[in-house]
Chain A
């Protein structure tokens, strides 16, 4: 049979394709619906948080940081409760990473604060001597791309039914509702209001002034995102 195949490229190719696609069908498909259900208390990212997530991605923080706490005592002691599938329901793309040059960040919002991040992102070794993390000073002057973040929120809302403008039950029984205005102008106003809260926790005067002027430096968006990781 193999000799026969080796003289017939078409059937050979069909054979190869069948054999290689088999595993994907069996391994990946069955779990698809199950894995995409959110856990209680998981809400979509706000536009500002999404913009921060884009900053995280543009600078490939995931090259050094994971966002996946494995179910071992040594990990839960260090980082908090192990990660659950449904917590990632709104993560497009997922940011689990594959190498921990630095610590896991899946729940970093639970134990680090705005001003801690501000100092750390400006100059990591000043906060943690011996750190090999690069300083990201350019984030204090570069502007976040709010419009693209808004575009993404609108897209996932329309295409994947991500529940914006919907009441979501949180773990403590309260409800949350992540707003997604119908126009970009309204969205911008909401984002600015959220950014002001972050900026008020910071001390860098240039950043504060920028936010007063209605601009949103990348660092503000990034911190909003890091604070949302709990």
Chain B
């Protein structure tokens, strides 16, 4: 990964479109997230928008907005940037792939906008991260297939024979999500069978325990293949690029990749511990979750060691800060998850706020930071402009870091408090607390969590502003100024 590429004219039209989408959905998804966090602390906020404004209507819009809006746009944006560069081929060389790319974007945007509208209307299957009804699922299949055509099409005309590590992870993301999504969303449209009722309504292929099993096999691995593998693809490209350092160890990359592929899928069972699925599956879920620490930490350590001898960059370059702290949060989250998967810990943690706490140190700290850094790195190259303000980046970094710390620490305390109170008994073995006692006690933690979220969201607005100002007002750059590692940024 040297710094100097032969100046091949890459075509970033589609990358730019997805960059806008990333920012837009980041703002929408996280604004709703912060709003519903405040609703948990101040329930009166449920009544601002009638039936469309309750916590329960908004929560799926938050999760879908940040997962399938913000994160997936970010993945696509980086693909349309990284793909061309590591395969050493420009999209401009293939009019076909250009059309595919633009169509991909168009179908994707349409799907996400329809998703927002239908979720507001309460049209949902209720399965987490698979809420969309079948007509929208079909649209998802269309844009996913278009993405596949783009990936394999570009690979087909590549000049660089060997696939770089990031490409492995994009391929894995594409294949695994396709498989998971198809199986979990299998449903029978009821109007087709009966001739009655809403045409878009459907009923799941699976019932009860089986439905739960398929759902968490999907749900857990959506985390694997939306929040992990594509983000690892990003860090393997952007960290070496931005720092000018070679990836520390090829062997470790190899081990982590194949290890992750093999182990991750087994771990879904940890969502179902002490449920009605058979014991051996729960145990498998538990054990494989522990094993999962190895490949996860493998990638993270590989990235941190890539910075060996160059730690001074951490001080001078805010992008390196985002990426290094991102890997650190990844390590925290991939240690915390397996701990929660230990049966006795799970008995306490399951159903409590510790779980959303865990989700958010991963998504805000790892996924969010990596996408933010990737977009910052891409912007000068996409628009040939210098990044507008380094000091705004620094401010954003610290606000968001404090936000994340407030979020997960308050949720740790809330979750453990709640779990302990649910099981507490007095000297005669009677339950000590009624349920409402365990709700009221959480008020301060819910407030702190919401403030943490608000800090993070403020950072997102700063990010959007900084990129907007870069595009409109940033100093114009010559090609040779772009052929550097460290992203050009204005000192102010």
* A-to-B contact residues, CB < 8 Å: 2-3, 6-7, 9, 12-13, 16-17, 19-24, 27-28, 31-32, 34-36, 57-64, 66, 68, 70-72, 74-75, 77-78, 83-103, 125, 128-136, 138, 142, 145, 147-152, 154-156, 158-160, 184
Q: In the docked arrangement, what's the CA distance between A89 and B204, Å?
A: 12
Known contacts: A17-B179, A19-B262, A58-B123. The answer to whether A136 contacts B201 by CB under 8 A is no
Give the docked Cα–Cα distance between A20 and B169 (Å): 13
Q: Report how far A134 CA is from B49 CA in the complex, Å.
A: 12
- Which chain B residues border A23 with CB–CB below 8 Å? 262, 265-266, 268
Instruction: Identify 8 residue pairs between A and B in the complex whose beta-carbon atoms are under 8 Å apart, listed by A's number.
Output: A21-B179, A23-B268, A24-B265, A31-B281, A59-B54, A78-B422, A148-B198, A155-B188
Q: Does B239 contact A (CB under 8 A)?
A: no
A85 nearest in chain B by CB position: B276
0/1 per residue, B122-154, Cβ < 8 Å to A? 111111100000000000000000000000100
B402: Cβ under 8 A from any A Cβ: no
Contacts of B51 in A (CB 8 A): 59, 136, 138, 142
The A interface is mostly helix, strand or loop, or mixed, namely helix
Top 10 nearest A-B pairs (CB, nearest first) are: A88-B208, A148-B197, A151-B197, A58-B122, A23-B265, A85-B276, A154-B194, A134-B46, A60-B56, A151-B196
**Please, which residue of chain B has its CB at the minimum distance from the CB of A32?**
B210
Q: Establish whether residues A58 and B124, one from each chain, have CB atoms under 8 Å apart when the complex forms.
A: yes
Contact A102 B435 (CB under 8 A): yes
Q: How many pairs of A and B residues are in contact by the CB < 8 Å rule?
A: 257
Residue B56 contacts which of A7, A64, A66 (CB distance < 8 angstroms)?
A64
Inter-subunit contact B207/A92 (CB<8 Å): yes
Residues 175-196 of B, flagged 1 when their CB comes within 8 A of A and 0 if not, give 1100100010000101101111
Min CB distance, A195 to chain B, in Å? 18
Contact among A59, A60, A152, A158 for B201, CB-based, below 8 A: A152
| B347, A72: Cβ atoms closer than 8 Å | yes
Contact pick for A152, options B163, B190, B261, CB 8 Å? B190
Closest residue of A by beta carbon distance from B192: A155
B203 touches A74 (CB 8 A): no
Task: List residues of chain A with CB within 8 A of the CB of B57.
Answer: 59-60
Contacts of A35 in B (CB 8 A): 208-210, 213, 276-277
Q: In the complex the two chains form, is B172's CB within 8 Å of A9's CB? A: no
Q: Cβ of B436 and Cβ of A131 under 8 Å apart?
A: yes
Number of interface residues of B (CB under 8 A): 89
- A154 close to B168 (CB less than 8 A): no
From known contacts A7-B162, A74-B431, A148-B196, infer whether A98 and B43 are also in contact, taking CB-CB under 8 Å: no
Binds A, one of B314-322, B351-359, B374-382: B351-359
Q: Are A91 and B207 in contact (CB under 8 A)?
A: yes
Question: Contact at A28–B213, with CB atoms within 8 Å?
Answer: yes
Most B Cβ at <10 Å: residue of A74, A75, A131: A74
Nearest-CB residue, chain B, relative to A5: B163
**Are B190 and A92 in contact (CB-based, < 8 A)?**
no
Q: How far, in angstroms, from A101 to B201 measured CA to CA in the complex?
A: 28
Min Cβ gap A229→B in Å is: 14
- Contact between B217 and A93, CB atoms less than 8 A apart: no
Contacts of B128 in A (CB 8 A): 98
Chain A, residue nearest B278 (CB): A31
- B207 near A36 (CB under 8 angstroms)? yes
A91 to B126, CA, bound (A): 12
Q: Chain A contacts of B127 at CB under 8 A?
A: 93
* Chain A residues positioned under 8 Å from B356 (CB to CB): 99
